[in-house]
């Protein structure tokens, strides 16, 4: 499973919004600037989330978006489901009868179990937890960088910076 770019940006934007109190309007331009997304693309990726009642929107000057629920009530699966569900590991998990082997294939059953496990795992990650983990990761990173000389903080290994 590879999520789409739209789903990735939707998750990032919701994670950013999870740091604000529920219902607080976050300016569209601020979401776009911090997440590196165009206003048109943000509007497009938020449409399914607005329809689902996860995100609210306010038009006009000072307009933007807000979470309609506390971040602990919004999971990664909620975003995935609205952006690109169904979660298909293999095409045989599509519509019943799309594979002539559905009824007896043991691999089909394995794919179903893997799919259920992935959905349950995605449901376990709510955005309050993710925001807290991000902050912990940033704090740990900053603490590690504080003990390094300035030149070391900004250097990349040659193989990484050259795209190898």
* pTM beyond 0.75: yes
Residue with tokens 């165009």: 38
The pLDDT tens digits for 17-57 are 999 988 899 999 999 999 999 999 999 999 999 999 999 99
The pLDDT tens digits for 72-103 are 999 999 999 999 878 777 777 777 777 777 77
Tell me: domain 5-147, CATH 3.50.50.60, correct? Answer: no
Task: Give residue 161's pLDDT band: very low, low, confident or very high (50, 70, 90).
Answer: very low
The contacts of residue 16 (CB under 8 Å, 6+ apart) are 26, 31, 34, 35
CB 13 within 8 A of CB 35: yes
What are the residue boundaries of the structural domains of the chain, listed by start?
5-147
Higher local confidence (pLDDT), 100 or 110: 110
The predicted structure's pLDDT at residue 159: 44
Query: Can you tell me the distance from the alpha carbon of 56 to that of 64, in angstroms, rounded to the nearest whole number?
Result: 9
């Amino acid at each position: 499973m590879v999520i789409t770019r739209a789903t990735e940006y939707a998750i990032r934007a919701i994670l950013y919004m999870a740091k604000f109190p529920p219902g607080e309007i976050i300016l569209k331009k601020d979401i776009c600037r911090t997440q590196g997304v165009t206003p048109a693309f943000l509007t497009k990726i938020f449409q399914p989330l607005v329809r689902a009642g996860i995100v609210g929107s306010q038009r006009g000057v000072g307009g933007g978006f807000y979470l309609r629920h506390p971040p602990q009530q919004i999971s990664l699966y909620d975003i995935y489901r609205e952006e690109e569900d169904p979660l298909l590991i293999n095409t045989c998990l599509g519509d019943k009868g799309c594979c002539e082997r559905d009824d007896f294939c043991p691999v089909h059953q394995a794919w179903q179990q893997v799919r259920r496990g992935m959905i349950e795992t995605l449901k376990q990650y709510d955005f309050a937890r993710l925001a807290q983990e991000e902050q912990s990761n940033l704090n740990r990173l900053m603490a590690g960088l504080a003990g390094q000389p300035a030149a070391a903080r900004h250097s990349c290994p040659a193989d990484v910076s050259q795209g190898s």
